[in-house]
Amino acid sequence: MSILHILEEINADTGKLYKQALVEQHKSNPLFMRVVKLALDPYVNFYIRKIPDYTFKFLVPGEKHQSLEWALDELNKLSEREFTGHAGIEHLRDILSELDTSDATVVERIIGKDLRCGMADGIVNAAVKNFIPTYPCLLARPYDEKNIKNITYPSYSQLKADGLRANVLVKGRKVTTCGRSGRDIDLLGELDTISQLLAAEYGCDMFFDGEFVVVDANENIIDRKTGNGIINKAIKGTISQEEASKIRFQVWDAFPLDEFFAGKSKQAYNLRFEKLIKALHKISQTPDATAEILKNGALRFRLIPYEVVNSLEEAVWHFELLLSEGHEGTILKNYCALWEDSRSKHLVKMKAERDCDLEIIGYNPGEGKFVGQVGSLICASSDRLVEVSISGFSDPLRLEITKDINNLMGSIVTIIYNERIKSKARTGVDSLFLPRFAEFRTDKKVANSSKEIK
């Protein structure tokens, strides 16, 4: 059975247990598991998102296509940066041209970091423990009476950025931009120069944490839906150079890259943040022949707007000020906070409207004018203790969802809602009052748990 056949078999049913059983069945197949690893491991990057045009090699009698095993060996040359830029694109073109159509399709999916069968990391790791590593991410806790007591003053009150959570990793001359799940976001090199210059201020390989936003011609940040639509093109490999040039990085943290891979920063947040402020200021003020270039570059790394607050009253004042300016809210951060892979008690988010990220676990068929299409998506928390059906899609989006429904199983969506309520249909499961679809979270792989949904 070919690898593509296995992937199509996994995609044939939307059920999580069905997919998990098939992974269990094929986990002894080393080629299958190698394909899964290359496609889903967040630390494997090929630095190419868009598949180049290619034609299959004409075979003379007795000649055979190259094997998929050969192709995966050749892909390693891309991940190891033996071929980069145009040479990398040509190398990928050569690989695809040497394969048959089935194996070429598999390679295309590996490059896209999406096997197109609704097989998430959790499904694979349930069959083979820790096979796909988890990409670390520091998260804030929601505001409530218990969590706010963990904030000590003075603390930082920072704008809750309204874009796409992102990281920039600088290792030598190599710059990697990715989302919170580790998935590559190809900005066509637009942030490379400033990233390297900023890392040079620290004198070591660096990790930067922040949010990608998109600006207009006047450097004003555009609305999240439109902006994230452009950023998602970078995830899919379809973004243009002009669009990539409009992306800005609102950065709020920085520390050595080896600490990121170790899973925890060594310094407290106030020391990390002060260093970041000084580094950005120094780059933007460099008084030499390249000052203008550096200044424009530094603008692509924007320090997150913030205030130092000395009490909860001041924190509320700053929160209400930003709300009045049309922003989403704020995040309070203790000076002592370390960066670590957790939902830290040292970070508390304050916002007026509630939202959560849920997993698509099923769908209801459409009725009336939507017969033959998806009527609503059934979405649930990671522990399945919160479940809700959402609809209200535009006609074009509904058609897109219907066409790709099997592959969407296990995907994450952001839901905006007013209140968590008891479900009328199911005992022991909660629902959400007035749920509204916000966006697909292509940068996230795990839904919120019920404990995270207030």
Q: Say whether both 194 and 279 belong to one domain.
A: yes
pLDDT of res. 443: 84
133 belongs to a structural domain? no
- Domain boundary (320, 351, 382) is at 351
Q: Say whether both 72 and 169 belong to one domain.
A: no
134 belongs to a structural domain? no
Q: Say whether both 346 and 387 belong to one domain.
A: no
Q: Say whether both 365 and 347 belong to one domain.
A: no
pLDDT of res. 289: 45
Q: What is the pLDDT of residues 56-72, one digit of tens each?
A: 998 888 899 999 999 99
Q: What is the mean pLDDT of each run of 10 residues along the chain (454 residues)?
A: 96 89 96 97 88 92 94 95 91 97 97 90 93 94 92 98 95 92 90 93 97 94 93 90 96 98 96 96 70 67 95 94 91 98 96 90 92 95 94 90 91 90 85 90 90 90
pLDDT of res. 290: 55
Q: Say whether both 182 and 273 belong to one domain.
A: yes
pLDDT of res. 297: 66
Q: Say whether both 166 and 306 belong to one domain.
A: yes
Q: Say whether both 194 and 115 belong to one domain.
A: no
192 belongs to a structural domain? yes
Into how many domains does the chain fold? 3
Q: Say whether both 263 and 393 belong to one domain.
A: no
Its pTM surpasses 0.75: yes
Q: What is the pLDDT of residues 277-292, one digit of tens each?
A: 999 988 887 655 455 5
pLDDT of res. 285: 74
The whole domain housing 306 covers 139-351
Q: Say whether both 288 and 358 belong to one domain.
A: no
- Find the helix packing angle between 68-79 and 85-97, rounded to 10°: 180
Q: Say whether both 323 and 187 belong to one domain.
A: yes
48 belongs to a structural domain? yes
Q: Tell me, what CATH number does 338's domain have?
A: 3.30.470.30
- Domain boundary (324, 351, 378) is at 351
Q: Say whether both 309 and 439 belong to one domain.
A: no
Q: Say whether both 43 and 163 belong to one domain.
A: no
- Domain boundary (326, 351, 376) is at 351
